[in-house]
Structure 1
Amino acid sequence: MRVRAAHGVRRWPAGSLPRWAVPDGGRPGAGRALGTWLVVAALAATLVALIVPVALFPGRAAGGARPVAAGAPVWDDDGAGVRDTPYGELTALDRDFVRKVRLAGLWEQPAGRLAQERGTTESVRTAGEHLVGGHTELDRRSVEAARVLDVPLPDRPTAQQQGWLDRIGAAQGSAFDRTFAELVRAAHGKVFGLVALVRDRTGNAVVRDLATRANTVVLDHISVLEDTGRSGVPHTGAPGGAPARHSDEEMK
């Protein structure tokens, strides 16, 4: 080996290289030790790559199931597990959806009737008409689905829903319009996410049909509530601010 010195090139006899020219001072096995550490580091990096996604996204289940996103729709597990039916498997999510469709009608139909009677604008009264018509249909469909699938249904609103209905009933004038539109629009925004979740995941034909129709009805209700200009959400009315009108055929 030749090493350039200050005044030329110095030659070292074979087998007598200086310690600084040999990795790790020339200790036996130093090269193998370095290789081992590189392998360990690579394995550690691979392990971190596998663990970090699980830690960041705990909703991801084994078997490649989709993660549950933050803010995903909330549903109640009745603890009855999955049941086989002639129409496909019936899950806790399916049963809860059928119950929630029924619950929605138990308070939104009365709210819609109040809007028809006491709304101070045509758009509020129109929203009330759509609520009554839409939830009359969905209530009938949910009752039929529950009968076919043997799902117990509630016969009265929840305490929270009754509280909303009481607030609407106590309001007067323009305050009524605002209270009605804000509360009912907010409730529809929550259930809309649940409808989409069920429509995407259910394997039961009866529940799927209910979710498909509910999706159309709930979206219609969201639109007419926003068209009132009182829901707290910018409305999507026709040019000039006139509320978008929906045909009777849409409500069938």
Structure 2
Amino acid sequence: MGSTSLPALAASSPSPSPPVSSLDRQLLAAAHQGNLWEIATGRQAQSAATTACVKRVGATFVRDHRTLDAGVVKTAKQLGVALPSGQTAAQLKQTATLKSLAGTPAYDTAWLKAQYPAHTQTLALIDKEITSGTNPLVKSLAKSARPVVAHHTRMVNNGVCHA
């Protein structure tokens, strides 16, 4: 009698969540930290840049990365993945370096040059997640972020502002 109730119990229990691989976790953590950095440097660019183009791109980055990060935070919470509480030490150092150039034409150039590799590295991680990630929620998040990050990459390509 007890053995017949086990299959019924198993059948009525919810299906387990798909596993979250180390790559899935890496994508969530890196995306969150990247979004925090993009929001901080985008806000900084709005006041520290000397050209309207960099100010506009900074505002676009703030808007888009806030939206992207909301998805990252929601997905991580759904999956029980803890996210870093802030930016990496390297990101904080880069933000401080940029701040030291605020209000000069050198700021605009340095800001654009910092944004390009940040976005190309993010694209590489997104592409890796799309092809090799295991969790469908994280893969979906990566697929939806890809066009936004690719557009941002084009906006700062070769250290030139393409608003």
Place the TM-score, normalised by the shorter chain, in its bin. Answer: 0.7 to 0.9
Give the match's secondary structure for 1:101.
helix
Separation of aligned partners in 2, 1:197 and 1:105: 18
Match of 1:92 in 2: 22
User: 1:20-169, aligned counterparts within 5 Å?
Assistant: 85-86=16-17, 88-169=18-99
% identity of equivalent residues: 28
The letter for the 2-side match of 1:194 is L
The 8 Å contact of residues 185 and 225 in structure 1, kept in 2 or not, is answered as yes
Separation of aligned partners in 1, 2:145 and 2:64: 9
Task: Show structure 1 runs of 4+ deviating over 4 A.
Answer: none
Match of 1:224 in 2: 155
Separation of aligned partners in 1, 2:62 and 2:116: 14
Give the match's secondary structure for 1:151.
coil
Answer with 1 or 2: which has the greater Rg. Answer: 1
Ranges in structure 1 where 5+ consecutive residues have no aligned partner: 1-83, 238-242, 245-252
Give the match's secondary structure for 2:156.
helix
The 8 Å contact of residues 116 and 125 in structure 1, kept in 2 or not, is answered as yes
Question: Is 2:108 the partner of 1:180?
Answer: no
Separation of aligned partners in 2, 1:130 and 1:199: 25
Give the match's secondary structure for 2:84.
coil
The 8 Å contact of residues 126 and 224 in structure 1, kept in 2 or not, is answered as no
Alignment TM-score, normalising by the size of structure 2: 0.84
Separation of aligned partners in 2, 1:218 and 1:102: 13
Change in CA separation of 1:176 and 1:145 when aligned onto 2, cut-off 3 Å: same
The 8 Å contact of residues 123 and 146 in structure 2, kept in 1 or not, is answered as yes
Aligned-residue RMSD, C-alpha: 1.8
Q: Deviations over 1:114-136 (max 9, x none)?
A: 11122211211121012101110
Q: Deviation at 1:85?
A: 4.8
The 8 Å contact of residues 49 and 108 in structure 2, kept in 1 or not, is answered as yes
Ranges in structure 2 where 5+ consecutive residues have no aligned partner: 1-14
Match of 1:200 in 2: 131
| Total equivalences in the alignment | 148
Structure number having the greater helix percentage: 2
Q: Deviations over 1:55-75 (max 9, x none)?
A: xxxxxxxxxxxxxxxxxxxxx
The letter for the 2-side match of 1:183 is A
Give the match's secondary structure for 2:85.
coil
Q: Deviation at 1:203?
A: 2.8
Match of 1:209 in 2: 140
Separation of aligned partners in 2, 1:188 and 1:142: 16
